[in-house]
Amino acid sequence: MEKKNTIFCDIDGTLFKYRKFETYKSSKPEILPDVKKKMDQWDNEGHLVVLTTARPEDMREHTEKELKENSIPYGRLIMGLERGPRYLINDMDPGKPGKRATGINLDRDTGFCKVDWESINL
């Protein structure tokens, strides 16, 4: 049986076009290119998608509503992250060569259209 992946993905500037915190409740999110298609694919393949955001915890209900209204599938939602750089630290299995963690940095608001998913087996 093929093991599924855990995918950590930021929301603003990655899934939705970037908006300032103060405009979240007065504006509608805009899904970026190829995001919905890829999110649906990951969901159908059984991967765990963990959405991350610097939005404060008191925006959880509103954020969940936006994700639902735009049919964005996900398994977990982590809120209140710092706005600075983010690092993923993971161990490597000595019995299985190769990377066990990969980071993908996207230009803000470009969506997923420029990512070569096949090159990273995703």
pLDDT tens, per residue, the chain with 122 residues: 566 899 999 999 999 999 988 888 889 999 999 999 999 999 999 999 999 999 999 999 999 999 999 999 999 999 999 999 999 999 988 888 777 888 999 999 999 999 999 988 88
Tokens of 117: 């998913």
Q: How far is CA 89 from the centre of its chain?
A: 17
Amino acid letter for position 116: D
Q: How far is CA 58 from the centre of its chain?
A: 20
Contacts of 1 (CB under 8 A, 6+ apart): none
The full set of domains in the chain, from first to last, is: 6-92+107-120 (3.40.50.1000)
**What pTM, to 2 d.p., does this model score?**
0.91
CB 91 within 8 A of CB 100: yes
CA distances from 52 to 14, 49, 77, 114 (A): 10, 10, 6, 21
In terms of Cα–Cα distance, which of 102, 55, 51, 44 is closest to 75? 51
